[in-house]
Amino acid sequence: MKLKGAQIVVESLIAEGVDTIFGFPGGAVLPLYDALYGAKLKHILVRHEQGAAHMADGYARATGRCGVALVTSGPGATNTVTGIATAYMDSIPMVVLTGQVPVGLIGNDAFQEADIVGITRPCTKHSYLVRDVNDLARTIKEAFYIATTGKPGPVLIDLPKDVLNATAEFEYPKTVSLRSYNPTVEGHPAQVKRAFETMKQAKQPVLYIGGGMILANASAELVKFAKKTRMPVTTTLMAMGAHPTREELFLGMLGMHGTYAANMAMHECDVMVCLGARFDDRVTGRLDAFAKNCTVIHVDIDPTSIGKNVVAHIPVVADLLDVMKKLNALAEKDATDWDDKHRPWLTRLAEWKSLYPLRYEKSEAGIIKPQFVVEQAWEAAKGRNPIWTTEVGQAQMWAAQFLQFDGPRTFLSSGGLGTMGYGLPAAIGAQAAFPGRLVVNIAGDGSIQMNIQEVITAVQYGLPVKTVILNNGVLGMVHQWQELFHGKRYSNSEFQMNPDFVKLAEAYGAVGMRITREADVRPALEEAYKVNKPVLMDFVVEKEEKVFPMVPAGGTVKEMMLL
Amino acid sequence: MKHTISVLVENRFGVLSRVAGLFSGRGFNIESLTVAETEDAAVSRMTIVTRGEDRIIEQINKQLNKLIDVIKVVDVTAEEHVERELLLVKLNAEEKNRAEILRMVEIFRGKIVDVSAKSYTVEISGGDRKIEAFIEMVRPLGMQEMARSGKIALPRATGAPAPKAKKPKSGG
């Protein structure tokens, strides 16, 4: 069947099982938009291309499938860069289709030309410039394969306009053959056994879980393994939801704003079992004081993560689902009395948990505490199977600390890149995938303004996302660091002015609410969750509130500041 | 320590920038880099000379393997191997120098590949030490310009099986 390049793209996306794409048209992609007209693909028209990239990312995180964004050449493409870098840092499967000027004009500084393959080279897993329409279908097949296998990540396909207009015989390839790309999937059985035997010898082990557990869809295996072996679990920001939070074995998030119990467990453990995490600086603090007295087992699909920051005594390069299944099979056949072996350790951890739980000082004079809003947002969402997204900064940390999770793919947050402006479009992407679920974005008054234009997208497509703005009038995390480390010189972190978020919401056709009294917090949330429209809730909260505990950047667990 | 890393890559548009960008983006150093087609026109070989402690070299190796267009990475430093570099140098060839230049070229088994009234251009190939020694010897004679190719290398075939380089697998 002979098809135009543009039709080949549409048919290939359908063949990949794509149902929704997020995009914004422009000159170079007009042929593709023409082919989309009447096609069996839902297209969500965003208001800024960064929004399209984050929506595709949110869709991917919520569903586990590949997200797709489509934008034009030049500024359309460059506007997606932050979204691509966000997905890259958090290993999110995504295919970004960018328009490009016709092949003959490439390199001529043509109108709306940008070398987007060059610009995104360091923040994509791979990228393509398609110069021949005959390569198009195979390229798309490869792009989806690369984006979703091994360590997932964004793949960019640059599509010159003349390639979209040219015709070629179309048959979507069934298989991919790439001699240079064969991601390791199975864990070496002997190495997994060695890891298991080491855990059996441990008296004070800890399971340190990263986002890889969620990406590998291995959370259920983790829960089973932890339960069987009675090993305590701490998760990174990226892994929130990989293990239920309200359980005895769960220590909370670790790292800079992690719990006392989690960070102490990492400090005092004799065997550290790192599963799908990468020893990020926000987790380790000062490296020369981290994991000095323990055996490190490190399982990751990405060989470059292993031994990069922390020496792994027992490295395993593999898909976590495979390794977790193997570990569970070993545990199944094993007669170790894990509970007896770990009893003193678990008792100590329980003491730390009860001595230094996550807490905040209750409000005085009715001023709303941001942590209270987050707690209430969770309480009010009980039984609604919510998906949470966050912006970045204090609000993000409070969300990680004070929300509770029962399962994976319910907490979508920009961990690696720390992208303000991520939460709202990510929520829209998640809501597009799950129209019937409650999707709530926990935001600050700073970060919500970075992609606030997407409120109208949510309204237009009837995607009733809820945004909780913790409005303290300052860039909270910057403010906190300035207070603690820069002598309270609040350089440019205080907004002298903010928009009226209620009017703004209403101008977009969404529902706006302003909440200034503690007593009104819960009723407002209940009401917002009920209404079948996007809602912006402007909670006016305590300005001086800080995120604790805090291990200063480059510090050690000994320097942890507690409330 | 200095390492010579031989990288087989898909002979495609943009591969060099991926490799070069990887080095600059992660702060790895490149002392020299050469690239050209191999016996298979679809495959190019890059020879990269870099320096770093073991941990860095391990990262370089793994990061290179992670690039989709990279087929195979071999740190030839760890193997028996042959390495060569080509030097072209244009020397002042005044009356009093000429004999000395010819003598040096003969000792170093080089060739004179271009001659003018005032200069001789010399071609020398060999390992680092030979190239550097030659440069030291002729520098006092007056050097107009010089070009070095950067190192290329191949593992030796003597008895030992060819090094099995592949993407790192699990295991110690």
Model ipTM value: 0.91
pLDDT digits 0-9 by tens, B15-39: 999 999 999 999 999 999 999 999 9
Task: Decide if pLDDT at B165 tops 80.
Answer: no
Which of A118, A187, A304 is facing B170, going by the closest CB pair? A187
Does A2-169 match A370-540 in CATH topology?
Answer: yes
pLDDT for res A424: 98
pLDDT band at B163 (very low <50, low <70, confident <90, very high): low
At B33, list the tokens.
């880099």
Task: Decide if pLDDT at A241 tops 60.
Answer: yes
β-pairing, A2-4 with A167-169?
antiparallel
- List CB contacts (< 8 A) between B62 and chain A: 303-304
- List CB contacts (< 8 A) between A187 and chain B: 170
Chain B residue with CA closest to A302: the answer is B66
Task: Decide if pLDDT at A251 tops 50.
Answer: yes
Question: Cβ separation of A304 and B18 shorter than 8 Å?
Answer: no
A221 is an active site residue:
no
Task: Decide if pLDDT at B168 tops 70.
Answer: no
- List CB contacts (< 8 A) between B58 and chain A: 307
pLDDT for res B1: 87
A111 is an active site residue:
yes
The CATH number for A370-540, chosen from 3.40.50.970, 3.40.50.850, 3.40.50.720, 1.10.940.10, is 3.40.50.970
Domain residue extents for chain A: 2-169, 189-355, 370-540
* Residue among A40, A42, A111, A503 flagged as catalytic: A111
For the segment A375-395, the average pLDDT, to the nearest whole number, is 97
Question: Cβ separation of A191 and B68 shorter than 8 Å?
Answer: no
Edge-to-edge strand ranges of the sheet holding A154-160 = A42-45, A20-23, A67-71, A94-100, A154-160, A126-129
Indicate which of B53, B60, B68 best probes the interface with A, i.e. most A CBs within 10 Å of its own CB.
B68
pLDDT for res B171: 40
Overall fold of domain A2-169: Rossmann fold (3.40.50)
Rama region for A465: left / alpha / beta (φ>0; ψ in -120 to 50; rest): beta
Rounded to 5 degrees, φ, ψ at A196 are -65, -45
A169 is an active site residue:
no
Task: Decide if pLDDT at B159 tops 80.
Answer: no
- List CB contacts (< 8 A) between A106 and chain B: none
pLDDT for res B160: 53
pLDDT for res A364: 80
What is the distance between the alpha carbons of residues B97 and A340, in angstroms, rounded to a whole number? 87
Task: Decide if pLDDT at A357 tops 60.
Answer: yes
Assess contact for A39 and A163: CB atoms under 8 A.
no
Nearest to A126 by CA among B26, B69, B24: B69
Indicate which of A180, A305, A313 best probes the interface with B, i.e. most B CBs within 10 Å of its own CB.
A180
**Closest CA of chain A from B168, distance in Å:** 7
pLDDT for res B169: 44
pLDDT digits 0-9 by tens, A103-149: 999 999 999 999 999 999 999 999 999 999 999 999 999 999 999 99
* Residue among A397, A477, A550, A560 flagged as catalytic: A477
What is the distance between the alpha carbons of residues A6 and A12, in angstroms, rounded to a whole number? 10
pLDDT digits 0-9 by tens, A463-481: 999 999 999 999 999 999 9
Verdict on whether the full-model pTM lies above 0.90: yes
* Residue among A7, A16, A24, A49 flagged as catalytic: A49
**What is the radius of gyration, based on Cα positions, of chain B?**
19
Q: Round the average pLDDT of chain A to a whole number and report it.
A: 97
Chain B residue with CA closest to A151: the answer is B66
Question: Cβ separation of B10 and A180 shorter than 8 Å?
Answer: yes
Q: Is the peptide bond before A549 cis (omega within 30 degrees of 0)?
A: yes
pLDDT digits 0-9 by tens, B103-146: 999 999 999 999 999 999 999 999 999 999 999 999 999 999 99
Instruction: Fill in the amino acid letter for B62.
Output: K
Q: Round the average pLDDT of chain B to a whole number and report it.
A: 91
Chain A residue with CA closest to B8: the answer is A180
For the segment A215-236, the average pLDDT, to the nearest whole number, is 98
Question: Cβ separation of A117 and B69 shorter than 8 Å?
Answer: no
Q: How far is CA A16 from the centre of its chain?
A: 23
Least confident stretch, A51-60, A92-101, A442-451, B77-86: B77-86
Edge-to-edge strand ranges of the sheet holding A511-515 = A411-412, A387-390, A439-444, A466-471, A535-540, A511-515
pLDDT digits 0-9 by tens, A52-61: 999 999 999 9
pLDDT digits 0-9 by tens, A34-52: 999 999 999 999 999 999 9
What is the distance between the alpha carbons of residues A212 and A36, in angstroms, rounded to a whole number? 34
**HSE of A271 in the Cβ direction (CA atoms, 13 Å)?**
21
Q: Please enumerate residues of B whose Cβ is less than 8 A from a Cβ of A.
A: 9-10, 13-14, 17-18, 21, 25, 55, 58-59, 62-63, 65-66, 68-71, 167-172
Which of B13, B18, B169 is facing A121, going by the closest CB pair? B18
User: What is the number of residues in chain B?
Assistant: 172
In order of B48, B65, B78, the CA distances from B5 in angstroms are 5, 12, 10
Nearest to A207 by CA among A227, A232, A243, A241: A232
What is the distance between the alpha carbons of residues A414 and A419, in angstroms, rounded to a whole number? 6
pLDDT for res B170: 44
**Closest CA of chain A from B51, distance in Å:** 17
Instruction: Fill in the amino acid letter for A484.
Output: L
CATH top-level class of A189-355: alpha beta
- List CB contacts (< 8 A) between A302 and chain B: 66
pLDDT for res A185: 86
pLDDT band at B162 (very low <50, low <70, confident <90, very high): low
pLDDT for res B172: 35
**Closest CA of chain A from B159, distance in Å:** 28
